[in-house]
Amino acid sequence: MAITVHKQVVQHLQEACQTSKLTTGFLIGLENDDGGFTVAACAKCTLSNKEAVQSVLQLAGGLSICGIFYSSDKKVTEEGCNEAINSRKYNLFLEKLETDDFVVCNIQTGSQTITENNFFLYSDMISPVRVDVIIADEDDKFLSQNVILRTQCSLPLSFTYEAGGWKENLESEITDLSQKIMSSHTVYHLQTSSVILCQEKIIGIPEGKANEFVSQDLYNCLQSEDIGRNKKRRGKHNFEDTLHLGLYMQIDGEDSSGMPLCAPIVQHKTETFQVVEITLPLDVVTVVSPQMPIGKLSERVSSCIVKQLDAMKDCICKYHQGKQFFIPESYQFKPFGLGALLNVVYPHGITETDLQPQRKKLHETLCLSLERPSFKRANVYRFPEDRLGESYLINPHVGLNPSGVKSGKVHLVQGQYTYHHYMQDRFDDNKWGCAYRSLQTLVSWFRLQGYTDKPVPSHREIQQALVDVGDKESNFVGSRKWIGSMEVSYCLDHLIGITSRIMTVNTGGELSTKGRELALHFETQGSPIMIGGGVLAHTILGVDYSEVTGDIKFLILDPHYTGGEDLKVIQDKGWCGWKGPDFWDKTAHYNLCMPQRPNVF
């Protein structure tokens, strides 16, 4: 049993509490199977602000609010922490906690470092439990080590519109709906299985086993064609597949809260009024530990749904314009560096520009810098099943074996991009379009990171852009002429307003001396690099570089691939893979287009 705190969270806490002002907030994470906790995010929140408290609760989404943090001018001691917890000062926070036990992080104002000694685990209000505290890297394993349940459904909502009172009506309908969701009538059907999770029982698992079953056993209940694959995965404790739950309401049965049990009564009332009808597109994620008893799942999922309903209600209230209402839409985000999956609701049809104030608040609450978009719609966390519909592969380098550079450090592209290569989009650009494809991959990265809303340009659009900036004659459009790194940089600038740094090497051999520079690019910019030399263009996605030996390998994405979107072929045949310095032509001159990300959010 231990408290695991992700390094990034510690850093955020440190930044949050650097001021002399007293700071308070919540710790967001998950209760582990052994009763310990993983803290995956922190959210600043002032004590008296009930609205802010509620929005943190909504934000925690599929995770739990599992603790609080506060800064004080006293030195951090166990006694001091006890006293603070018992002082009722933080009661407003403590009653919002979603776990029985909880973590408290106490920080002295202005202190420079936060260590293991700042964290305490409480299972009652009297004194902390002695546990290990581990500050660990979040290596993208947090989510995959837990079970993710996803409930997508549309719930009809209607409320009476009256100029002054519609908010109350909406609130009352949401309360109604929430009560229904929390009632024993709401059940969850595990899709492609015969398992139904009810509050009091589980349908579809062998009798007497209900008490032994835990959340990860649900993978074995799926009636999928490749059961073998799931079993293997289970052994590895890596639950990449999301478990899909269908929300159902039981419409039979004796117990019904407040419902008359007599033959139907019909009530009719004539009046003229207006009703707002919205179908709420719920997309609720619930993250649970693999050993969570199956009997607890339905309640946990229900409470996550209720949180989202609450968020949707707030969204409707916040963004309505007179009589015009916007459909609230749920987005899951996994901000850069954090392991946590966070839930935000945005109104459909409102532009990113108009959502900026809400995003700013989110960044501030979560102690995230304003230099990188984290909560634009494009930043949405893409579940494996969401990627199925996409026509391009996302991040095909994921899953490659290590490059083999001894004592090397891997510096990779940050975030997501799509793989663009020859022959895609039913367009034959074989032998001439490689730089265009590399440029498309670069633009895709800026799109998926939320820096731009512009679509990935076609060859023709790229050519037109070059004509527009005066680089090419108008007959260039529709031609099959090559472009190079400079042209790529012009297009990035013209099409999506991104500037690039151009690095020039006179020979391919010289590239192996650029390890430090490239590593720095991936650490600070994190964007993919287009490299052109001789007749070939490639995309560099990362380097594995050893400061000690100077050894280096390059992670290359090759646009010359002409096959279908088959990840196995692409990885096995090296269309995406680690290449040594001999990959480059010793005699050719190379230009690297290194896009610089703007400081926006």
Partner 1 sequence: MGRTILVEDGVQGYVDRLSNTGQWHLGLIIGQLTSQRDYGVQLIRTPEPAEDEVSEEEEDEILNTPKRKRRRSSHKPDSLENIDEQWVATHAKQVTRMLPGGLDVIGIFALAKPQMLTRSQAKLRQILFSIRKIHDKGQIVHDEDAVADRYLLQICSATRKLTCRTIDVSDPKSTFRPGEWKCQTSPEPWIELRCQITTDLKITVPLGAQNHSLLKQILGGLRPYCHTLWNALATVNGEMRPEADSLDQSSGGRKTRSGKDRGTSQQQCYTISLFSQSTNNKHEVSICDKSARIWLRGQTHSRAYVPGRSSVGDAVKALKTDVIRSLVSRCELLCEDIEVVDEVKDKNLYDSPIRVFGQLPGSTVNFCDYMFQDEKIDEVLERIQELLDVTITEDDLQRDCERVATQDDWPKPKPKPKVEPGADTPVTAMTAVRVYLGAFLGGMAAVLAGVSYMYMGDS
Active site residues: 434, 558, 560
Tokens at 156, concatenated = 């009809």
Q: Minimum distance from CB of 304 to partner 1 (Å)?
A: 18
Minimum distance of partner 1 from residue 216's CB (angstroms): 21
- The region of 96-104, 243-251, 444-452, 540-548 touching partner 1 under the rule CB under 8 A is 243-251
* Residue 161 touches partner 1, criterion: CB under 8 A: yes
Cβ(204)–Cβ(221) below 8 Å: yes
Are 485 and 530 contacting, i.e. CB atoms less than 8 angstroms apart?
yes
* 251: contact with partner 1 by CB under 8 A: yes
The kind and range of the H/E element at 364 are helix 356-365
**Closest separation in Å from C-beta 171 to partner 1:** 9
Binding string, residues 393-432; x marks residues near partner 1 by CB under 8 A: ----------------------------------------
Binding pattern for the stretch 262-301 against partner 1, x by CB under 8 A and - elsewhere: xxxxxxxxxxxxxxxxxx-x--------------------
Q: For partner 1, which is the closer residue by CB, 17 or 309?
A: 309
Strand partners, 122: 102, 128
264 vs 470 by CB, closer to partner 1: 264
**Binds partner 1 (CB under 8 A): choice among 127, 169, 303, 546:** 169
- Paired residues of 120 in beta bridges: 104
Query: Which is closer to partner 1, CB of 267 or CB of 351?
Result: 267
Task: Identify which of residues 227 and 520 has a Cβ nearer to partner 1 in the complex.
Answer: 227
Tell me, what amino acid is at 148? Answer: I
Judged by DSSP in three states, 343 sits in strand
Please give the structure tokens belonging to residue 290: 């693999």
Q: How far apart are CA 333 and CA 145, in angstroms?
A: 18
What's the CA gap between 437 and 459, in Å, rounded?
Answer: 8
3-state secondary structure 142-182: CCCCCEEEEEEEEEEEEEEECCCCHHHHHHHHHHHHHHHHH
Choose among 314, 289, 310, 311: nearest CA to 300: 289
**Binders in 29-58 for partner 1, by CB under 8 A:** none
Residue nearer to partner 1 on the CB measure, 79 or 273: 273
Q: How many residues bind partner 1 (CB under 8 A)?
A: 63
Residues 301-360 contacting partner 1, CB under 8 A: 323, 325-327, 348
5 lies in the site for partner 1, by CB under 8 A: no
Least separation in angstroms between CB 193 and partner 1 = 9
Shortest Cβ distance from residue 54 to partner 1 (Å)? 18
For 39, which DSSP code?
E
Query: In 3D, which of 178, 408, 431, 194 has the Cα closest to residue 305?
Result: 178
Binding of partner 1 at residue 562 (CB under 8 A)?
no
The site string for partner 1 over 175-214 (x = CB under 8 A, - otherwise) reads xx--x-------x-x----xxx----x-xx----------
470 φψ region: left (φ > 0), alpha (ψ -120 to 50), beta (else): left
Q: Among residues 22 and 203, whose Cβ is nearest to partner 1?
A: 203
- DSSP 8-class letter at 184: T
The two three-digit tokens of residue 242, written as one number: 């999301």
Minimum distance, C-beta of residue 496 to partner 1, in the bound complex (Å): 29
260 lies in the site for partner 1, by CB under 8 A: yes
- Rounded to the nearest 10 degrees, the angle between the axes of helix 50-60 and helix 297-319 is 130
- Interface segment toward partner 1; rule CB under 8 A; list 76-84, 122-130, 162-170, 427-435: 162-170
Residue located via tokens 């891997």: 410
Q: Is 223 helix (H, G, I), strand (E, B) or coil?
A: coil
Whole-number Å distance between alpha carbons of 220 and 243? 11
Binding-site ranges for partner 1 (CB under 8 A): 153-156, 158, 160-162, 164-165, 168-169, 172-173, 175-176, 179, 187, 189, 194-196, 201, 203-204, 246-254, 256, 258-279, 281, 323, 325-327, 348
